[in-house]
Amino acid sequence: MSHEFRDLLKQVGSGSHTSRALTRAEAEAATRMMLTQTATPAQIGAFMIAHRIKRPTVDELAGVLDAYAALGPTMPAIAPDSAYSRPTLVLSCPYDGRSRTAPVTPITALVLAAAGVPVVMHGGDRMPTKEGIPLIELWQQLGVDLRPHSLEQAHTLLNRTGLGFVYLPQHFPLAHGLVPYREQIGKRPPFATVELLWSPYAGPHTLAMGFVHPPTEEFAKGTFALRGQTDWITVKGLEGSCDLARGRTAIVGVNHPGQTDRLLLHPRDYGFEGDDVDLGDEETLGDRLLDILSGNPSELAKTALWNAGFYLWQGGAAESLEAGLAQAQDIITTGGAMAKLNELRLQATSLNQPLAYSRS
């Protein structure tokens, strides 16, 4: 048993009258002990549920991210001689995936990369408690297996294609080791919020994160300020993802140094009003996404276009949302996004092949 961790646990788990928030340094220390499992399983589970009940502070979230930065992976910046000169977009979606609405995040990423905007994503496998379909499975349905890549190979893929993926089981096994506790406690711990705020990328970038509840957005703003993350986008997205809804007004926060904007985007003003598409059969989702890339019209294709246009605008490839929507339509209908997928498939497969050698 860790006596040091026990003292920190007592501080967050002593009840509404006697508990107190951890300092940033204490939260980092507690997270290090959980990630390295210096704390016992009983202590880790108790901390997760106590911290959820108490609710984290921005100082605590910053401390957790400090531990992630110290112990976790950081994908190097894209090479200066790469074809992708624009700042990278880091798309942070909930690790427990989607269970109600059909995701279009891979289409967004392919359109962005085809337009010269590099994209970094991160996530793991099926995650308690929702157990929704995660990004890694969506890419696999599209014929792209990102699971075997080392971090160096993931960086190579980013340099070659403009798309990179940090995969938790492969690249951050310490954090992956805490996943079973989520199922055992039956609730999403504050780590689920931290994953939305975490950027595992070293180069200049804008972090785009989805959220559901307004307090999460406020936590994000305060945590970003403490950690010096000046370029960020918050999206009240579908199931807390980065995907903008079409069935309601998109609520978006955009921050760059010296400027903060609050955007209320009404899909009907741009001809994109409609119901959000149900997830439907998971096994056919990849085929439905491929239909979009083939230029076939559908309600899901409208959702993909709405999102791709928005992120082209925010990624600096288009001067306005209207221009972004037109550019996204052109990239899809002329086959640019499909070509990017084929390139990604080819490069990912080549990186998955064992190195050839000759015997002398």
196-221 residue pLDDT tens:
999 999 999 999 999 999 999 999 99
In this structure, is the dihedral angle defined by the CA atoms of residues 283, 287, 293 and 295, taken in order, positive or negative?
negative
The total of other beta-carbon atoms located within 10 Å of residue 57's CB is 19
Below-70 pLDDT ranges, the chain: 1, 17, 354-360
Specify the pTM: 0.95
Could you tell me which residues come within 8 angstroms of residue 310 by beta carbon, excluding any fewer than 6 positions away?
Answer: 244, 250, 265, 321, 324
Q: How far apart are CA 140 and CA 147, in angstroms?
A: 9
Determine contact, residues 122/93, Cβ cutoff 8 Å: no
The pLDDT value recorded for residue 354 is 66
Q: Which domains does the chain have, with CATH numbers?
A: 3-71 (1.20.970.10), 88-345 (3.40.1030.10)
Question: Taking a C-beta distance cutoff of 8 angstroms, is the pair 312, 327 a contact?
Answer: yes
Give the model's pLDDT for residue 358.
Answer: 36
What's the pLDDT at 82?
86
